[in-house]
Structure 1
Amino acid sequence: MTSLLKINESGGYRFLPGIAPYSSGVVAMPGFEIVHAALQTPLPWHAGLHAARRYLEGKNLTCHNLCAVELRCPQPYTMEGFIDFNTQYRSLLNAWEMIVDGLNPVARTNVAPMFDHPREAMLFAFSYSRPSDVSRSTFVVAGGGELPDGELAERRIVRVGETGPDALLEKAECVAEIMNSRLLGLGGSSELLTVLDVYTVHPLHSLLESVLISRLPAIASRGVHWFYSRPPIVDIEFEMDMRGVVHEEVVNL
C-alpha cells in the first residue's frame, strides 16, 4: 500500500492522500523526522497556524514542514458546518501554496471536548518535519471516526444514530480498521507506534477488551490517551489517531 504515498518534496515527508480537508497520514522521508508539538496554551486556529509557521521559520524551516494539525472545536459540527469549516481551513493552505498536485498533504484531527470546550476552533497541537539523522520511521496517522475513508456523507456513518453496546463495538471495529489501513499505507507497524489517542464520551473498557487491544496490539504496552471528547461531526461517536515519533515538544507560541 505504500505505493499510494505521494511525495511532498518541499516538506521532507510523504503523505497518504485523503480528502480535500486533510490527508490520511504522513511519514518522514529519509534524512528527516516528524516531531510532535503540543501548545502549552491553545490558540484560535487561524492565528495558531500563523504562530506555528513563525515557530518553524525560527528553526530555519518553512510552512511546508507543517505536516499535521490537531484542532479542538466548541461542539460537533453538522455535516454542512464541517464542510464549511474545511473550506476556510483549506483556503489558508492554498494561500500558503501547501497543496501538492491538487492534494492536501497535511494530516488532521479535529474533536470537540465534552468539558471546558473552547469558544471557537483552536489549534491544540501540530507536527512538523525537520532534517534529522533519526534512523527509524516517524509518522502521524490522521484522526478518523466510524466514517469509512471517502465521501463525507451522513449515510456512510456506521450505525448512525445508535449508541448501544453492539453499535459502539461495530463503530470501534471500523475505526480500528481505518487506523490499521492508514498505518500500513504509511509503511508503519504496530511496534513503531508511540502514542494512540482515543476520542469518545462512551465507556471505553469493553471496547478495549473486545476490539482495540486485539486489533491494535500496541495498546497492550503503550496504553491509550483517552480524550473525553466527541468527534467533529454530529452522530460520529468514536475516533482515534496515532503516531510514531521520537521527539515530543510542548511549545509556547
Structure 2
Amino acid sequence: MTNTVEAPNSGYRFMPGVSQYSCGIGALSGFAIARVRFSEPVPLKEGFARIADILKAAGRPLTAFGACELRSPAQFTEEGFRAFNEIYIKTLIEWGVMRDGVNPVARSNVCPKIDPPQEPCFHAFSYTVPAAADAPASFVVAGSGESVEGKGNYRDHIIAPGDTSPAGMLAKAKWVLDEMERRMSAFDGTWKDTTAVQLYTLHDAYPVLESELGRRGVLRNGLTWHFNRPPVVGLDYEMDCRRVHLERVI
C-alpha cells in the first residue's frame, strides 16, 4: 500500500501527488467525506467563497476542504495549465490547506465539449464531516489522464499519443485504470468499494467498456461518462472515482 499523509486539522489523509493536487484523500476514523455538486458551474473566485460559507455553516474549518471537480473552457497548453494552477493554489495557501508546497487536495479539471463555461468553474467539491467511528470508509481519487504526472510536462509521457483508434483507446484506458487502482490501494480500496466512477473523453470508449472496465469490475455501480476533454492539450482519456455516501446538489 502506498503511504499516505494526514493533512493537519482536516479529518482526512492524502496520497501525495504533484504541487497542484494530491492523488486522492481518505477520511480518518471519526470522519466521513461529503460531496456537494453545484447545479450550475460556479466561477472559481465565487466558488471558493461559497465553499467557505458552506464549511462555516457545517461547523467545519477551511482545512476540511479535501477535493474538487472543476470545469474549464478549453484544454490548456502546458504553460497555461501551470499559470492556472498558480492562481488556484493561492486560495489553498491562504486557507492554510496547502502548506510548505504540499497540496493535500484531490482534483479533477476537465473541459466540456458542449456548452463549456466562459472561465474555470467549480462543478463539485468534497469535505470532511464528523461521523461515527463505525461509519463506512470514504475516499475520493483525483482525476488522471493517460500521462505520467510530475515529469515537467505531459506531452512527452502520453500513452498512445494522438491514437484514438480502438487499440489506442485500450492502451490509454489500461494505463488510467491501473493508476486508479494504484491510488485506491492507498486507501485500502478497490473497484468493488466505489460508489461512483466518472469517465471523461470525447472518443469512442465503447470497445473497452466490457473488455477492460467490465472485466475489472468498474461498472458494478454504473459509469458516468462526461463528454469532456482532459485539461491539457494532447490528453484524450481521464477518469476519477470515489466512495462517498453523503452527496447533495445545491
For 2:101 and 2:229, how far apart are their aligned partners in 1?
Answer: 30
Deviations 1:127-148 (A, max 9, x none): 0101011521100000001012
Cα contact 2:10–2:63 (8 A) shared by 1: yes
Alignment of 1:175 with 2:164, yes or no, is: no
- In structure 1, the residue matched to 2:40 is 41
- In structure 2, the residue matched to 1:210 is 211
The residue type paired with residue 114 of structure 1 is K
- In structure 2, the residue matched to 1:236 is 235
Cα contact 1:73–1:110 (8 A) shared by 2: yes
Q: What SS is found at the alignment partner of 1:234?
A: coil
Percent identical among aligned pairs is 37
Q: What SS is found at the alignment partner of 1:148?
A: coil
**How far off its partner does 1:102 sit?**
3.2
For 1:205 and 1:237, how far apart are their aligned partners in 2?
Answer: 14
For 1:214 and 1:152, how far apart are their aligned partners in 2?
Answer: 34
Structure 1: segments with no counterpart, 5+ residues: none
**How far off its partner does 1:249 sit?**
0.8
Structure 2: segments with no counterpart, 5+ residues: none
**How far off its partner does 1:181 sit?**
0.4
Cα contact 1:139–1:244 (8 A) shared by 2: yes
For 2:62 and 2:78, how far apart are their aligned partners in 1?
Answer: 29
Deviations 1:84-108 (A, max 9, x none): 1011111211121211453100000
- In structure 2, the residue matched to 1:147 is 147
- In structure 1, the residue matched to 2:137 is 137
Cα contact 1:79–1:152 (8 A) shared by 2: no
**How far off its partner does 1:168 sit?**
1.2
Q: How many matched pairs?
A: 248
Deviations 1:221-244 (A, max 9, x none): 211000000000111000000000
For 1:228 and 1:102, how far apart are their aligned partners in 2?
Answer: 33
Alignment of 1:249 with 2:248, yes or no, is: yes
For 1:169 and 1:230, how far apart are their aligned partners in 2?
Answer: 17
The residue type paired with residue 188 of structure 2 is G
TM-score (normalised: structure 2): 0.95
- Which segment drifts farther, 119-128 or 161-170? 161-170
Q: What SS is found at the alignment partner of 2:235?
A: coil
**Aligned Cα root-mean-square deviation (Å):** 1.2
**How far off its partner does 1:205 sit?**
1.2
**How far off its partner does 1:18 sit?**
0.4
For 1:28 and 1:91, how far apart are their aligned partners in 2?
Answer: 24
For 1:218 and 1:208, how far apart are their aligned partners in 2?
Answer: 9
- In structure 2, the residue matched to 1:5 is 4
The residue type paired with residue 157 of structure 1 is I
Matches within 5 A, 1:1-253: 1-2=1-2, 4-133=3-132, 135-153=135-153, 154-215=155-216, 217-219=217-219, 221-251=220-250
The residue type paired with residue 69 of structure 1 is C
The residue type paired with residue 174 of structure 1 is W
For 1:96 and 1:162, how far apart are their aligned partners in 2?
Answer: 41
- Would the alpha carbon gap of residues 126 and 152 (structure 1) be closer, same or farther in structure 2, given more than 3 Å must change? farther
For 1:100 and 1:214, how far apart are their aligned partners in 2?
Answer: 40
- Which segment drifts farther, 194-203 or 204-213? 204-213
For 2:149 and 2:101, how far apart are their aligned partners in 1?
Answer: 18
